[in-house]
Chains A and B, each alone.
Chain A
């Protein structure tokens, strides 16, 4: 059987790692924002599979699903704010390269 909790969790970890890798290595801020979205979606997958496999949704144990909805909303809000900050940044610098954000250091 392919559709098991373990496999879903493994997929979730893989997605999370890909997102993590993107944040650590990518220079373009847009890509970084996308990577963060990926991490959040990995979390969603994990929540929903835990709920689906481990707990009885018919019995009122559906908190995992609520959590996913909240996370989706939060991800949307974060993306909006992130893009807004990016726009302000881009106006000042004409670049979306994170390597150039090094005015403050040490």
Chain B
């Protein structure tokens, strides 16, 4: 059976990009949207076909379009290889991508340059597909750069706003840019080192290569790769661009900055897992950085008032969990979380998008509230997404997160504890977000309230579709302890065979331990969620009215203790933890990391400003420089005589 059709998976979005990019501005906006969506749908169907083929016989499918570069023993092809891992990825990318294209049709219907938007989106899908389908690391790098570029273009999509808004989109783009340069530096250097060490860049050949090389070379390579991954997947210390990237249109945040591009780093580690497991240092680094990011950005999420910022920090934190999984060698668990996260985070972003639209482009949660009954579909879907994010069974996030935590428990107890704290905080800020947005009293102006409406039919369709996925998507990975088949992990086994063989198989937890862990994590999550919901759905104003009311006063007196507890909440949680979080955010995020990035940029610009003064304009001084150069060379040569 010919595999030529694989070529069409990325080619279709590319065609969409070319049509929309070149002649899109002359086409009807409906045509533009249809082209954008239909091409991705086509890819999705082909991806599903591929997936079923692999499900059928378990063999990877590959196709080489042409030989890109052949020099002596180096052969870099323009070729694709779809194994279980990339099959999951392409289906997530095209599936979620298609839904987001549909959503964008409804969401962007007012925008002038809709053709440009869809062109960029299609180009993004193309690059992302290349990234995950590539059978060698150079082609992967092509996709890697491509997605970065599209992300950059889309963050700055509303460039007209750049000059008016306080935190300008241009700045956000700049930060994303610098951080990704640092990451790319690591990735590129790793590519060259891999070539030098193994003489090949093909994944298939690399997986058969002898990884037991002397010295710290393998550690250096994997650490550099990980540096690349931290840039793309927003981990400490290179995460700062992601919250700022929320300046782009919401569908972009959903597709690029939640579901797909930011997971590229995870995918890369999974793809090269056989290499990573050979360096314990790197694995430990990944696990620690992942855990730190997970907890740290969860604390950041606690205090954000911008609904998209909450989701952004939450994304960083969830990515941290994925890295945590990769770091302890639980590759399939990480990929599983990647998939479920793509579902529910896309859902949350798109839900947030319709909330924002409903509130007339208001993103501040303090100015929302009581939207529950006004936009019920959005609310219910958003709630499903939130439950999945918190990790409440049986929603998707529960199974994947639990899987990760169980595996981390085996390897590092301390990291597990931190991860658990992070899970609690996740539940807290998620519940807080839902409470502030949909419950309590409305804080909108009258004019805004009149404006509130459910989104269009296409948007609702997408929300429901993602809602269903978030609700049941985790069922394919039910662990054995719950009498499930852990199908997902078995499906991925062939990919991680080599890595797991090196690790010598992991210690299995007894079902009892697994049960206990599960109960603990559910308890922590439930507590966190209940606290968050309780504090933020009943605002002070309600309480005050309650006290003044004659009957309510008595009731209030009866529930005095309850009120007292509220005060404790207020003191312990709001004042100290939240205040601490805010201070931490201000200090670390704004001062240190932002400051550092800006410092690097400034210092380079400063040096540049000084160095250009070498160019005095005086011909004599130029001649003098030539003379000095000649003298330098001659002195060196004289030293060799």
User: Does B bind A?
Assistant: yes
New contact pairs (17) apart from A98-B619, A102-B617, CB-CB < 8 Å: A20-B627, A23-B623, A24-B620, A24-B627, A26-B620, A27-B620, A98-B620, A99-B618, A103-B617, A104-B617, A105-B615, A105-B616, A105-B617, A106-B612, A106-B613, A106-B615, A106-B617
Report Cα–Cα, A98/B624, bound state, in Å. 14
Q: A29 to chain B: closest CB distance in Å?
A: 9
- Residues of the A chain whose Cβ atoms lie less than 8 Å from the Cβ of B615: 105-106
List residues of B whose CB falls within 8 A of some A CB.
612-613, 615-620, 623-624, 627
From B613, B619, B624, B627, contact of A101 by CB (8 A): B619
Interface residues on A, range: 10 to 19
Find residues 78-106 in chain A having any chain B CB closer than 8 Å to their own CB: 98-99, 101-106
Answer whether A25 and B617 are a contact pair too, CB < 8 Å, given A20-B627, A106-B612: no
State in angstroms the CA–CA spacing of A27 and B620 once bound together: 8
Partner-B contacts on A (CB < 8 A): 20, 23-27, 98-99, 101-106
Number of A-B contacts (CB under 8 A): 30
How far does the alpha carbon of A25 sit from the alpha carbon of B620 in the complex, in Å? Answer: 6
A–B Cβ pairs within 8 angstroms, 8 of them: A24-B620, A24-B627, A26-B620, A101-B617, A105-B615, A106-B612, A106-B613, A106-B617
Q: How far is the CB of A19 from chain B (nearest CB, A)?
A: 11
A105 to B621, CA, bound (A): 12
Q: Which residue of A lies closest to B611 (CB)?
A: A106
Closest to A98 in B: B619
Name which of B612, B613, B615, B619 has the most chain A CB atoms within 10 A of its CB.
B619
| Bound-complex Cα distance A98 to B615 (A) | 15
Determine how close the nearest CB of chain B comes to the CB of A75; give it in whole angstroms. 18
Residues of A near B613 (CB, < 8 A) are 106
Which residues from chain A contact B616 at a C-beta distance below 8 Å? 102, 105
The interface centre, meaning the residue of B613, B615, B616, B620 with most chain A CB atoms within 10 A of its CB, is: B620
CB-nearest residue of chain A relative to B619? A98
Provide the residues of chain B in CB contact with A99, threshold 8 Å.
618, 620
- Tell me the nearest residue of chain B to A101, going by C-beta: B619
- Distance A23 CA – B619 CA, assembled complex (angstroms): 9
Cβ contacts under 8 Å, A20 to chain B:
627
Please provide the 5 A-B residue pairs with the shortest distance between their CB atoms, ordered closest to farther. A105-B617, A102-B617, A106-B612, A98-B619, A23-B623
Give every chain B residue within 8 A of A106 (Cβ-Cβ). 612-613, 615, 617
A7 to chain B, nearest CB (A): 21
A20 to B626, CA, bound (A): 11
Residues of A within 8 A of B612 (CB): 106
CB of A52, distance to nearest CB on chain B (Å): 25
Q: How far is the CB of B271 from chain A (nearest CB, A)?
A: 47
Give Cα distance in the complex from A104 to B617, angstroms: 6
Indicate if the CB atoms of B624 and A24 lie closer than 8 Å: yes
Give the docked Cα–Cα distance between A59 and B68 (Å): 56
Instruction: Give Cα A37–Cα B59 distance, bound, in whole angstroms.
Output: 76
Of residues A102, A103, A104, A106, which shows the largest number of chain B Cβ atoms within 10 Å of its Cβ?
A106
Measured between beta carbons, the chain A residues less than 8 angstroms from B617 are: 101-106
The smallest beta-carbon distance between B628 and chain A, in angstroms, is 10
CB distance from A22 to the nearest CB of B (A): 10
Distance from A43 Cβ to chain B, minimum over Cβ atoms (Å): 14
The distance in angstroms between the C-alpha atoms of A93 and B619, with both chains bound, is 16
- How far does the Cβ of A79 sit from chain B's closest Cβ, in whole Å? 18
| Bound form: Cα–Cα A46–B372 in Å | 95
Give chain A residues whose Cβ lies under 8 Å from the Cβ of B624: 24
Inside 8 A of B619's CB, which chain A residues have their CB? 98, 101
- Measured CB to CB, the closest approach of chain B to A54, in angstroms, equals 19
B-side contacts of A105, CB under 8 Å: 615-617
Q: Which residue of B lies closest to A29 (CB)?
A: B619
For the complex formed, measure the closest distance between the CB of B619 and the CB atoms of chain A, giving whole angstroms. Answer: 5
CA distance A23 to B630 in the complex (A): 14
In the complex formed, the residue of A with least CB distance to B620 is A24
Measured CB to CB, the closest approach of chain B to A100, in angstroms, equals 10
Chain B hits for A103, CB < 8 A: 617
Instruction: Decide: A24 and B618 in contact? CB cutoff 8 A.
Output: no
Give the CA-CA distance A5 to B378 in the complex, in Å. Answer: 96
Give the complex CA separation of A25 and B618 in angstroms.
Answer: 11
Q: How far is the CB of A66 from chain B (nearest CB, A)?
A: 26
B107 to chain A, nearest CB (A): 47
Nearest residue (CB) in A for B624 is A24
Q: Whole-angstrom distance between the alpha carbons of A45 and B27 in the complex?
A: 75
Across the interface, name the chain B residue whose C-beta is closest to A35: B623
Residues of A within 8 A of B627 (CB): 20, 24
Chain B residues near A27: list those with CB within 8 A.
620
